[in-house]
Structure 1
């Protein structure tokens, strides 16, 4: 806001960076690596170099067909081997910023959707799982891989029940024509497989022998 040619710095909203240290945890193909003391200059944008310990797998080629010549050719002419490596193949599985929640800061972190899926499926930290679910749910463009990842996490009885409930809500919120209502169909199938009695056509009585499973099913009623 400008008054009489002077900038009111107290009322002006500006984006500022983090002037201090920040910790980054990198999950690679070869393992997990912590970078606990990355210096931050306090600028809005800052480029940092982080060492990558893993290496990409060797290029994979299609095996020659049976009956082909030793040089890889056949009677139809020379056919070069096709590189089957995906363009998106990377030694990085997913990253986490401030994984131990050491800083009183609101952190906005972006990474590809597949890396969020990797974080949801492989990270055992419930905070990391909840962050992945919240981010996948808020993606502007949903895919079946995202819906399937949420459904697989919901069906995992070893996962923490509170986070499984978040996955259930995410499936409900992501159900749309864009995904053929796949999230809703997964929820109905999950509920019927555990609570529905096909003989009488009604839900089964509550089973309190497994409280985590009971709490997950309770939110669907």
Structure 2
């Protein structure tokens, strides 16, 4: 039985990923900051709720301790929790605005990965999936043929570029763990104001990477169609 922990899993892409992996036979630990919403989502899916705030060291440590006591291991970690951050004229952005986005989207991944890595290393096939975005790709945001080139989201884009680079560097360092980044693409969520393809389509790349076998890739950035440019 594969045990999978997903952050930010009480709604949207995280919830759909949890649903798909439960259907695939995984034991899913549904991580969420909001206890009421997290418990309701976990109950609806047949998952177990674990409270976690990826911006809080104590909360992340407590979540890892909880999983260590209950499951004793995880096979897959999906770092899905993320925020869009402030949107508007660039002259209005402050350092505090940038720090808030990075704390969730980038530093949160480091916090959670650090806390859960000992549990992952008890698995025969440990896997980390970081949910990134084509909005963090230099190639895609500069290609007029791509939808990503039509938007300017400095805070979010910078954070997702960091997520993808962090993924490749972790993949180099963690020889015993497969570490990949998933791009859901433009998905109809609250981030996009309902624009884009379905959440089911958006979750495809995440689910694919969460279910790779011992011979699966590492250090890759993929969407549901395949590898993407950096």
Q: Which structure's residues are more often helix, by fraction?
A: 2
| Bigger CA radius of gyration | 1
TM-score by length of 1: 0.33
TM-score by length of 2: 0.32
